[in-house]
């Protein structure tokens, strides 16, 4: 079964069961300071999981494009990818465990659908603890489907509980579905949690029935939700009988282009295979980020930094393969050809993708040149024949100089590199980075506090004021809101003057002082467009959208949250205006 067939079959299955099919949200979360990228299907739906009504109803299904870069250095093995598609179905206070489990089993095993052998399927459920009871209900529903007791495992919260992203919020037990890969068990107690590779997870049904409070208690939610996720790449790998996702049809065309560029064959040796996987994955991910409806460009902060790292790692391993400069845009073209029919924004932004890849490759070439100078300085100061690990890591971390190049150049001078010392320095840096990232981007639920809600409404007034002062060509390019401040990116080719900033600030405060009512209407997206609502219209909105209006000043498609009247906001003050990227400016502001 091809990936395209799986994608269509999944949506057809849930459409027949009363689910509205909603489009994939952007990879760049809007107004969510907790994550850099959309890492799961739940992120765009958080307000509705928290109780807001969704314009399309209580039953939803989608294919969400996602990016996870926590394991970027593991990419190159058989399974890790930075970009993936997540198939999901959602119940917002409608059906619950019985229906979700019955439909999961039917889709997996029915000959009309995936037709997997039920004897090869295994299931896990929550074993219970002091916070919540053993999930006998889910186990009972699996048994009602004909699943034997020895195919059901009870596991602790570490494995079968979906916790809130922060310290508080919706959470609950989950039940996970695995397929037996045929590998021998690692021990008599082998189970899906041991990680030996015998069991491969293919689907996860999360039952959000609790709310974790600030004092650590678990209360029952009034609205119980179902949140499921099935990785398309991984499931396609199972259905196609492949040993690696890189051997499935989603990668074959991309791998063919890489092979033509480097005159090498996937699988010919371990080093070549790893490098081809890295180039394929990273260029696929970079193409989706650059081609997104809220696409970012390479930079030294936030999403742009991750994008830069992906592209430069691609260049490095492309060099290792022998791909000539400029070759990676052909890999990106293969990605667009593979996915453009499903995600039209890739076709629409094709030229921008190629341009930014070329620019970043040129910049990295300059980095390599600078790194070579620093390498020569290091060698000139060297006493002995070994480049110490911390020095090699400084070349990597400070100048972006790949360790592989350091080793190669050292060998040409009859020198060696302390790789264990480099690895130790790298691991220390990685642990510090992960700690910082987890503190800054804990992942999951966006803050919906009173202050954040006020700042969210203020961004609508800011955009409207910018358009009045600078012209209607100004459009939103991104925003990030915390409880302390808002950060707003918008299209404009130059730095704003002090007079322009003063006018914008005054217009926002004028709107606040007028105490306008903030109105919300639900309407078809074409009607919203015709009514003059602003929005990213090259994005694929739901069929029915929410439009928030503030008097005659602002009218935007948005998912909320918002205050009821502008008089609740306080005084608006712009703290800084600066460049975000080429053709994009950034404003930081606060409410006092």
Lowest-confidence region among 107-116, 197-206, 222-231, 535-544 = 535-544
Residues 95, 92: Cα–Cα separation, whole Å: 8
- Put simply, whether the predicted model's pTM sits higher than 0.95 gets the answer no
Question: What is the side-by-side strand order in the sheet with 544-550?
Answer: 518-524, 544-550, 554-557
C-alpha triplet 498, 501, 502: angle, nearest 5°: 85
Domain 450-591 CATH class label: alpha beta
Round the average pLDDT of the chain to a whole number and report it.
88
What is the pLDDT, as a whole number, of residue 34? 63
In degrees and rounded to multiples of 5, residue 569 shows phi and psi of -80, -40
Is pLDDT at 539 greater than 70 in this prediction?
A: no
Give the number of other CB atoms < 10 A from CB of residue 148.
Answer: 11
The pLDDT tens digits for 132-157 are 999 999 999 999 999 999 999 999 99
Tell which wins on pLDDT, 457 or 197: 457
Residue 86 vs residues 25, 65, 370, 497, 529: alpha-carbon distances, Å: 12, 6, 41, 44, 29
Q: Which token pair is 82?
A: 């930075």
The pLDDT tens digits for 420-463 are 999 998 888 766 654 444 443 333 334 556 788 889 899 999 99
Q: Could you say which DSSP state residue 46 is in? A: H
Q: Which CATH number is 3-239 given? A: 3.30.930.10
In degrees and rounded to multiples of 5, residue 382 shows phi and psi of -70, 135
Confidence bin at 251 (pLDDT 50/70/90): very high
Is pLDDT at 561 greater than 80 in this prediction?
A: no
Element (H, E) at 306: helix 302-321
Q: What is the 3-state secondary structure (H, E, C) of 388-451?
A: CHHHHHHHHHHHCCCHHHHHHHHHHCCCEECHHHHHHHHHHHHHHHHHHHHHHCCCCCCCCCHH
Could you check whether the bond before residue 192 is cis, i.e. omega within 30 degrees of 0? Answer: no
Q: Pick from 268, 276, 281, 280: which is nearest to 321 by CA?
A: 276
What is the pLDDT, as a whole number, of residue 428? 80
| CB 274 within 8 Å of CB 76 | yes
Confidence bin at 581 (pLDDT 50/70/90): confident
Q: Where are the domains of the chain?
A: 3-239, 248-365, 382-444, 450-591
Q: Pick from 68, 170, 166, 213: which is nearest to 440 by CA?
A: 166
């Amino acid at each position: 079964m091809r990936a395209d067939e799986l994608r269509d079959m999944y949506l057809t299955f849930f459409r027949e069961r009363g689910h509205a099919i909603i489009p994939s949200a952007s990879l760049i979360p809007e107004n969510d300071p907790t994550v850099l990228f959309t890492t799961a299907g739940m992120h765009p739906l958080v307000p509705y999981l928290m109780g807001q009504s969704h314009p399309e109803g209580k039953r939803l299904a989608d294919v969400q494009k996602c990016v996870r870069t926590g394991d970027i250095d593991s990419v190159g093995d058989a399974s890790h990818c930075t970009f993936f598609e997540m198939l999901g179905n959602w119940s917002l206070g409608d059906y619950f465990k019985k229906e979700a489990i019955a439909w999961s089993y039917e889709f997996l095993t029915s000959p009309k659908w995936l037709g997997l052998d039920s004897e090869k399927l295994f299931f896990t459920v929550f074993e219970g603890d002091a916070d919540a009871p053993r999930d006998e209900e889910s186990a009972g529903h699996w048994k009602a489907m004909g699943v034997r007791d020895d195919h059901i495992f009870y596991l602790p919260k570490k494995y079968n509980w979906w916790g809130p992203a922060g310290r508080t919020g919706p959470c609950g037990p989950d039940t996970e579905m695995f397929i037996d890969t045929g590998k021998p068990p690692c021990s008599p107690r082998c189970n899906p949690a041991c990680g030996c590779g015998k069991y491969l997870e293919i689907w996860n049904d999360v039952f959000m029935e609790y709310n974790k409070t600030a004092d650590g208690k678990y209360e029952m939610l009034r609205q119980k939700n179902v949140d499921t996720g099935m990785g398309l790449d991984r499931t396609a790998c199972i259905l196609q009988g492949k040993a690696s996702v890189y051997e499935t049809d989603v990668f074959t065309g991309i791998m063919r282009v890489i092979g033509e560029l480097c005159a090498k064959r996937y699988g010919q040796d371990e080093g070549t295979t790893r490098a081809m996987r890295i180039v394929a994955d990273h260029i696929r991910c970079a193409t989706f980020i650059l081609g997104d409806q809220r696409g970012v460009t390479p930079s030294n902060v936030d999403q742009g930094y991750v994008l830069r790292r992906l592209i430069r790692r691609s260049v490095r391993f492309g060099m290792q393969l022998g791909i000539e400069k400029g070759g990676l845009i052909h890999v990106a073209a293969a990605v667009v050809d593979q996915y453009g029919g499903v995600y039209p924004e890739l076709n629409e932004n094709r030229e921008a993708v190629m341009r930014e890849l070329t620019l970043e490759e040129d910049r990295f070439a300059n980095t390599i040149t600078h790194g070579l100078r620093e390498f020569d300085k290091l060698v000139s100061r060297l006493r002995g024949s070994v480049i110490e690990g911390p020095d090699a890591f400084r070349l990597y971390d400070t100048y972006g100089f790949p360790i592989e190049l350091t080793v190669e150049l050292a060998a040409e001078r009859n020198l060696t590199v302390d790789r264990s010392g480099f690895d130790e320095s790298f691991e220390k840096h990685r642990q510090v980075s992960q700690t910082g990232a987890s503190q800054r981007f804990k992942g999951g639920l966006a803050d919906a506090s009173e202050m954040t809600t006020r700042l969210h409404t203020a961004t609508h007034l800011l955009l409207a004021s910018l358009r009045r002062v600078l012209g209607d060509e100004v459009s939103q390019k991104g925003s990030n809101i915390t409880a302390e401040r808002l950060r707003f990116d918008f299209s404009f080719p130059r730095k704003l003057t002090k007079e322009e900033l003063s006018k914008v600030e005054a217009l926002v405060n004028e709107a606040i002082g007028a105490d306008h009512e903030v109105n919300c209407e639900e309407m078809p997206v074409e009607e919203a467009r015709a009514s003059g609502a602003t929005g990213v219209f090259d994005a694929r909105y739901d069929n029915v959208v929410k439009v928030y209006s503030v008097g005659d000043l602002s009218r935007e498609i948005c998912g909320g949250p918002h205050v009821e009247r502008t008089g609740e906001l306080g005084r608006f003050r712009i703290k800084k205006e600066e460049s975000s990227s080429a053709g994009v400016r950034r404003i930081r502001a606060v409410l006092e």
